[in-house]
Amino acid sequence: MKQRPYNFSAGPAALPAEVLEQAAAEMLDWHGSGMGVMEMSHRGKEFIAIAHQAEADLRRLLAVPPNFHILFMQGGGLAENAIVPLNLSGGAAADFVVTGSWSQKSFKEAKKYCDAQLAAANTAADGSHTTLPDPATWRLRREARYLHLCSNETIHGIEFHELPDLKSLGSDAPLVVDCSSHILSRAIDWSRVGLAFAGAQKNIGPAGLTIVMVREDLVGHALPVCPSAFDYKTVAEHGSMFNTPPTYAIYIAGLVFQWLLRQGGVAEMERRAVQKAELLYGAIDASGFYSNKVERSCRSRMNVPFFMPDERLYAPFLEGAVARGLLQLKGHKSVGGLRASIYNAMPLEGVQALVSYMTEFQARHG
Ligand code: PMP
């Protein structure tokens, strides 16, 4: 197959070509079953095998401990903003660390269901988010049922390179982590986490699948108003098949998990992510033309927002990028500028092509 353009979308995002080719080859007839995956009953032996394999592969990739459920749900990250407090808060206290738009949304939504309070924020006077608040300064309430944070803020490009150890801060609250935009790009320290959730459409597969990994003891405490299809206990008891799961999305996610295992797993993804991010941030910092305002210690390895000195340059930059096969580089509408999302499926060559285009553009317009 000829080289496809490099797609820098923040999500839904690029998938490995190998995965798309395999899906295409199996579209009409999965493994001689005479059915495409979209046409199978979710309760048939074929799809049950697909779902079990996907779950086992994800457990292996992220070393998810046996006392954690892996749930395949729907509704995306934003639905989890309600589903988590419905399940974990008991209508009582929950603390939030706000470091960008996504954790801000989580905090706001949770207020509908519980006593949500801000433990820390990184919002500057001008509304920007460019640092991470030091965990030692967080206001952790003893009675909080959990503490929520977003470990990679997709819009602002801020990443917790290490999750806080709440126990060392004197808190027994489980950590709830929205890892939607960097799941599977590095290991998760499960000793620090009670629940991690992620929409699949960035680093895993198609939109429509939401992955929830939750410690067993946190399940079974949902508020009575919690919809049954969103009660983690019900979902877990039915092996994520209480209602019809997003079957095709689970299948594609499973193919991505197998691709990741063939590549060398999460450790290899992290090595590549570091390499790609260093290349891109290095080029931005050295240019004297492009800029990224996030403090170096918390720059995202997945989402790199960057800016130019003159607003009028964005349209020609984006036009020239498309002409060179560099797609979807427009920044999020709330912050403007440019953004390159360089998830697992983005090869190093894609980042190299972007950097050489940036150099060429600067030579003409800088
Ligand atoms: N959390 C994060 C970190 C995200 O990046 C996104 C999507 N950009 C969401 C939550 C919301 O996900 P969804 O649109 O699937 O509800």
Domain end point (choices 207, 240, 262): 262
Mean pLDDT for the stretch of residues 262-270: 98
Annotated active-site residue in 95, 178, 233, 276: 178
Do 180 and 291 lie in one domain? The reply is no
**Confidence at 127, pLDDT banded by 50, 70, 90:** confident
Q: Does 123 count as an annotated binding residue? A: no
* Confidence grade of residue 3 (pLDDT, cut at 50, 70, 90): confident
Supply the CATH number for residue 321's domain. 3.90.1150.10
Distances in Å between the Cα of 202 and the Cα atoms of 181, 199, 255, 298, 350 are 6, 7, 15, 20, 17
* Share above pLDDT 90 across residues of the chain, in percent, rounded to a whole number: 97
Spatial separation of the C-alpha atoms in residues 36 and 365, rounded to whole Å? 50
Residues 102 and 209 in one domain: yes
In a domain, 236, yes or no: yes
Note whether residue 241 is domain-resident.
yes
Look up the CATH number of the domain holding residue 212: 3.40.640.10
The string of pLDDT tens digits covering residues 41-94 is 999 999 999 999 999 999 999 999 999 999 999 999 999 999 999 999 999 999
> Would you say residue 107 has pLDDT above 90?
yes
pLDDT of residue 126: 87
Residue 193 DSSP one-character state: -
- End-to-end C-alpha distance for the chain, whole angstroms: 36
CA distance 41 to 64: 28
| Structural domain containing residue 74 | 19-262
Question: Does 6 reside within a domain?
Answer: no
Q: In this predicted structure, what is the pLDDT of residue 2? A: 72
Tokens representing residue 268 in the block: 């290899």
Answer yes or no: do 110 and 50 share one domain. yes
234 is in an annotated binding site: no
Contact between 157 and 280 (Cβ < 8 Å):
no
Query: Is ligand 1 within 6 A of the CB of residue 102?
Result: yes
Q: Are 225 and 86 in contact (CB under 8 A)?
A: yes
For residue 9 and ligand 1, the question of a CB distance below 6 A is answered with no
From the CB of 181, is ligand 1 less than 6 Å away?
Answer: yes
Q: How far is the CA of 198 from the centre of ligand 1 (A)?
A: 8
244 and 176: one domain? yes
Q: How far apart, in Å, are the Cα atoms of 180 and each of 199, 342, 356, 362?
A: 5, 14, 29, 33
Residue 1 lies in a domain: no
Catalytic residue among 30, 95, 202, 276: 202
What's residue 252's pLDDT?
98
pLDDT of residue 120: 97
Q: 215 labelled as ligand-binding?
A: no
Q: How confident is the model at residue 1 (pLDDT cuts 50, 70, 90)?
A: low
What rounded mean pLDDT belongs to the chain? 97
Same domain, 295 and 311: yes
**Domain end marker among 235, 262, 289:** 262
**154 CB within 6 A, ligand 1:** yes
Q: Whose CA is nearest to atom 7 of ligand 1?
A: 77
Domains contained in the chain, number:
2
Q: By the 8 A CB rule, do 184 and 260 touch?
A: yes
User: Does position 125 have pLDDT exceeding 90, yes or no?
Assistant: no
- Quick one: which atom of ligand 1 is closest to the CA of 155? 5
59 known ligand binder: no
Q: Looking at the domain assignment, is residue 5 inside a domain?
A: no
- The pLDDT score that the predictor gives to residue 304 is 98
The ipTM, to two decimals, is 0.99
Q: How far is Cα 201 from Cα 162, in angstroms, rounded to an integer? A: 23
pLDDT of 366: 84
270 located within any domain:
yes
Is the minimum distance from the CB of 178 to ligand 1 under 6 angstroms? Answer: yes
Section 3-13 average pLDDT: 96
For residue 25, being part of any structural domain is answered with: yes
Same domain, 271 and 249: no
User: Do 290 and 327 sit in the same domain of this protein?
Assistant: yes
Instruction: Specify whether 30 is catalytic.
Output: no
Q: Please tell me whether residues 140 and 161 are part of one structural domain.
A: yes
H-helix segments, the chain: 17-25, 45-61, 76-88, 101-110, 232-237, 247-263, 265-287, 314-323, 348-365
| Ligand 1 within 6 A of CB of 109 | no
| Annotated active-site residue in 30, 57, 102, 233 | 102
Residues 329-363 have pLDDT tens digits of 999 999 999 999 999 999 999 999 999 999 999 99
Q: What is the mean pLDDT of residues 259-278?
A: 98
How far away, in angstroms, is 107 Cα from ligand 1 center?
Answer: 14
Together in a domain, 70 and 145: yes
CA-nearest of 238, 253, 148, 155 to 208 is 253
Which of these three, 262, 296, 312, is where a domain ends?
262
Q: How far is the CA of 105 from the centre of ligand 1 (A)?
A: 10
- Residue 30's nearest CA partner among 57, 53, 1 is 53
**217 and 176 share a domain?**
yes
Is the separation of the CB atoms in 147 and 175 below 8 Å? yes
Q: Is 178 tagged catalytic?
A: yes
Query: What residues pair up with 165 in beta bridges, in sequence order?
Result: none
CA of 180 to the centre of ligand 1 (A): 6
Does 191 share its domain with 86? yes
Specify if 214 maps to a domain. Answer: yes
* Residues 308, 233 share a domain: no
C-alpha 149/C-alpha 103 separation (Å) is 6
Active-site residue, 138 included: no
